[in-house]
Amino acid sequence: MEDQISKLSDAANRMRISSIEQTAKANSGHPTSSCSAAEIVATLFFSEMRYSVKEPRHPSADRFVLSKGHACPILYAAWEEAGLLTREQVLTLRKLDSDIEGHPTPRLEFIDVATGSLGQGLSCAAGMAYTGKYVDNASYRVYCLLGDSESAEGSVWEAAAFASYYKLDNLVAIVDVNRLGQSRETMLGHDLFTYAKRFEAFGFHSIIADGHDIADLLKAFDEAKKVTGQPTAIICRTLKGKGIEGVEDKDNCHGKPVALDKAEIIASKLTNKTKIPWELENLINDAPNVDFEIGNIKMSSPPNYQIGEKVATRLAYGNALVKLADTNKRIIALDGDVSNSTFSDKVLNKYPQQFVQCFIAEQNMVGVAVGMSCRGRTIPHASTFAVFFTRAADQIRMGAISFANVKFAGSHAGVSIGEDGPSQMGLEDLALFRAVPNSIVLYPTDAVSAEYATELAANYKGITFTRTGRPNTPVIYPNDEKFEIGKCKVIRQTNEDKYLLIGAGVTLYECIKAHDMLSSEGIQVAVIDLFSVKPLDSQTLIEQAKRVGGKVLTVEDHYQTGGIGEAVALALGDVPGVRVRSLCVKEIPRSGTPDELMDLYGISAKKIIAAVKNY
C-alpha cells in the first residue's frame, strides 16, 4: 500500500512536471488547473480505471471525461505516463500540426468528447453511464472530473438530476475544488460541505476527500464502487497550482505558464527517479458488439400515406423513428418532456427500452445524446420543439467539435405553430444547425419526405437536424419517391417560367398556391421544394435560376439570419444575372392562427403573389 501510494504520488508529480513543460513550451495553457488535479488523475489512471492503452476507445474500457477541459495538460501527461504518448509528443501542445490541442478534442483517440466550454462533461458522462448500464449492460464505469468554478453552470445540475433519477451507480463525478476561478475566488471557495450538500440534494452519494492525499482518494474510489442505486460525487479539496512553488493557492495564476525551474523543483522531490512501467491492460471485456452499420439502417417499412392526406411532418417523424427502432435496437429516442408533441412517444410506447426521458433540461438532453453516441454505442435521436434546441446551442456546438453522431429533430417550427406565441416558435433553428460544421439540415414538407429525411439522417455519420412542423399538411409525394441529402425537388416547371419560388415545409404549400393563382393569371413560376437546406443543391438551384431568367424568391417560416434566403443568396451570389429576394419573418411575432400569422409576417401565398408581381 505504502509502495503503491508512493508510486502514484511520483506519477502525479511526473504529470505535474509534464504539464509545466507542455505549457512553458507552448507559452500558454493552464498548468495551475492541471496541478490541482494531479493526484486525482494519477489515482484514476493508475489504480482505479480499467482500460486499454493499446486501444483507448475499447468499448469495454472505463470512460474518463475531463469536464474542466482547460486542464488537458494533466490528461496528456496521464497518457504519457501510461505509455501511449511520448514527452516529445505532448510537448507539441497547442501547435498547428499537433492534435495535442489547447482544449481536448476527439482528434485524439483517447478522448471521447471535446470539452473546454465548461459544465458540459457530466451530461456526456451521464450519457455514457446510461448506455453502459441500460444499453450495453456492461461493467465499464464512467469517471468525470469537474472543476469547482464550472459547477456554477446549471447544466451540471441538470446532469446530476438525470444521473440520480436513472440510478447511475456506474458514474463517479469528481470535483476538483481548488477554490480559485479565472478572475477571483469561486462562490463557495473551499466550502466542500456545501458542494456535498448540493450533490446529495440532487441524489448523489457524496464523499469529501483531500484531493492531494492518495490514500484518501483510493478510499473514496473504493467507497464509490460499493454504492448502488445512485451515482457518487467525490468532492476533493485541492490547491490550484499545487506543488508549484510560489504559485500554489495564489490568485491571478489562471491560464499562465510558469518557469521551467518550477518543474525541476518538483523533479527533485520524486521518491523514485526512474519510472516503473504500469500494467494497464485490465478491462473487463463484456460490452456487446454493436450490430448496426451506418449507411445500411432501414425503416421496417416504407411510408404509407395517401396523396392529399393531411399529416403533420412531426407525426411522420414519430412514425419513421419507430420504424427505425423496429430494425435497430440501438436507435434511441431522447425527449425533453414533449414526446406527445414531437411524437417520439411512438418509440416510448412500442420500445420503452429505446426511449430516454430527459425531462425539461435540453442542455443535458443534448449532452446525454453526445455521450450515448460515443464509441458508436448508439444512434441517439434527440427531439423537442425546434426552438428549445436554442437552449442547448452551446452543447450542440461542442457536439460538433466532438464529431458526435447525433440526430436532432425539432418540431413546431415557425409562426405556423399559431396561438402559443413567439416563445414557442422556432425561428432561429435553421441558422443554429446550419452553423454546425459538417452538419446536415433537412426540412421535409410532407409526411413522405419527413419519413425519408429521418431515415437519411440516421444513415449520415455526424450531426443532423430535421425540421418538422406542427400543422397537418397534405401529402404531396408518392410513398416511393426518392429523396437524397443535397438534392432539392423541382415540383412545378413550364417552359414559360419567369420566376423561381423556393419553399420548404409550410411555405412550400403557399408557393404551390401562389403558383396556381399566378398561373391562372398567365404568370408562370417554377417551384422548388428545397428539402436539403444543408448541403444546398446549388447545381439545380443555379440551373433553375438561370432557366427562368434569374429572378429567385425564397420563402421561409424562419428569421432572415442564417435561413434559407441568406443561404441561397450566397450560393447564387456569384452567378451573373441571378437575383435573389427573400420572404421571411422579420419581427417578433404574436399569437394568432397559423394562417393569420403567415400572412401578417409576409410568407403567405398572397404575399408571395405580391412579391412576384413587384419583382
Q: Grid coordinates representing 296?
A: 445500411
For residues 358 to 377, the per-residue mask of contacts with its own copies, x marking binding by CB under 8 A and - elsewhere, is: -xxx-xx-------------
- Indicate the SS3 state at residue 375: helix
**Which of residues 10 and 345 has its CB atom nearest to its own copies in the complex?**
345
- Alpha-carbon distance 192 to 322, whole Å? 46
CA dihedral 475, 480, 483, 489 (to 10 degrees): -60
User: Exactly one of 189, 246, 352, 437 binds its own copies (CB under 8 A); which one?
Assistant: 437
| Backbone angles phi and psi of 297, in degrees to 5 | -95, 130
Residue 74 C-beta: closest distance to its own copies, Å: 16
Find, among 148, 12, 150, 132, the residue nearest to 63 by Cα. Answer: 132
Residue 471 binds its own copies (CB under 8 A): no
- Alpha-carbon distance 385 to 470, whole Å? 10
User: Exactly one of 233, 406, 572, 598 binds its own copies (CB under 8 A); which one?
Assistant: 572
- Indicate the SS3 state at residue 313: helix
**Which of residues 8 and 171 has its CB atom nearest to its own copies in the complex?**
171
User: Exactly one of 290, 435, 523, 542 binds its own copies (CB under 8 A); which one?
Assistant: 435
Q: What is the 3-state secondary structure (H, E, C) of 409-443?
A: EEECECHHHCCCCHHHCECCHHHHHHCCCCCEEEE
* Contact status, residue 353 vs residue 112, Cβ threshold 8 Å: no
For residues 170 to 209, the per-residue mask of contacts with its own copies, x marking binding by CB under 8 A and - elsewhere, is: -----------xxxx-xx------x--xx-xxx-------
Stretch that binds its own copies, among 149-157, 209-217, 449-457, 472-480 (CB under 8 A): 149-157
Residue 112 binds its own copies (CB under 8 A): no
For residues 543 to 562, the per-residue mask of contacts with its own copies, x marking binding by CB under 8 A and - elsewhere, is: ----------------xxxx
Stretch that binds its own copies, among 145-153, 293-301, 442-450, 605-613 (CB under 8 A): 145-153
User: Exactly one of 341, 383, 405, 473 binds its own copies (CB under 8 A); which one?
Assistant: 341
Residue 310 binds its own copies (CB under 8 A): no
Residue 224 binds its own copies (CB under 8 A): no
Residue 152 binds its own copies (CB under 8 A): yes
Residue 16 binds its own copies (CB under 8 A): no
Stretch that binds its own copies, among 1-9, 89-97, 408-416, 466-474 (CB under 8 A): 89-97
E runs forming strands in 155-238: 171-177, 205-210, 232-237
**Which of residues 65 and 156 has its CB atom nearest to its own copies in the complex?**
156
* Contact status, residue 313 vs residue 305, Cβ threshold 8 Å: no
Residue 416 binds its own copies (CB under 8 A): no
Residue 570 C-beta: closest distance to its own copies, Å: 4
Residue 465 C-beta: closest distance to its own copies, Å: 12
Residue 147 C-beta: closest distance to its own copies, Å: 9
Residue with the three cell numbers 503503491: 4
User: Exactly one of 270, 290, 600, 610 binds its own copies (CB under 8 A); which one?
Assistant: 600
**Which of residues 116 and 211 has its CB atom nearest to its own copies in the complex?**
116
Residue 210, strand partner residues: 237
CA atoms 444, 447, 449, 453: torsion sign: positive
Residue 608 C-beta: closest distance to its own copies, Å: 16
Residue 335 binds its own copies (CB under 8 A): yes
Annotated catalytic residue, options 81, 153, 362, 455 = 362
Residue 271 C-beta: closest distance to its own copies, Å: 34
Q: Which of residues 27-56 bind its own copies (CB under 8 A)?
A: 28-29
Stretch that binds its own copies, among 78-86, 90-98, 258-266, 492-500 (CB under 8 A): 90-98
Please name the residues in contact with 576: beta carbons below 8 A apart, sequence gap of 6 or more.
none
Residue 98 binds its own copies (CB under 8 A): yes
**Which of residues 197 and 269 has its CB atom nearest to its own copies in the complex?**
197
For residues 383 to 412, the per-residue mask of contacts with its own copies, x marking binding by CB under 8 A and - elsewhere, is: ----xx-xx-xx--xx-xx-----------
- Alpha-carbon distance 468 to 455, whole Å? 14
- Alpha-carbon distance 125 to 291, whole Å? 23
The yes-or-no answer on residue 362 being catalytic is yes
* Contact status, residue 118 vs residue 361, Cβ threshold 8 Å: no
Q: Which of residues 574-593 bind its own copies (CB under 8 A)?
A: 574-577, 579-582, 586-588, 590-593
Q: What is the 3-state secondary structure (H, E, C) of 86-99?
A: CHHHHCCCCCCCCC
User: Exactly one of 51, 130, 157, 292 binds its own copies (CB under 8 A); which one?
Assistant: 157
Angstrom distances, CA of residue 352 to CA of 135, 162, 344, 346? 12, 17, 11, 9
- Alpha-carbon distance 441 to 144, whole Å? 32
Residue 389 C-beta: closest distance to its own copies, Å: 9
- Alpha-carbon distance 492 to 524, whole Å? 10
* CA of residue 496 relative to chain centroid, distance: 46
- Alpha-carbon distance 238 to 95, whole Å? 30
Number of residues that bind its own copies (CB under 8 A): 109
Active site residues: 362
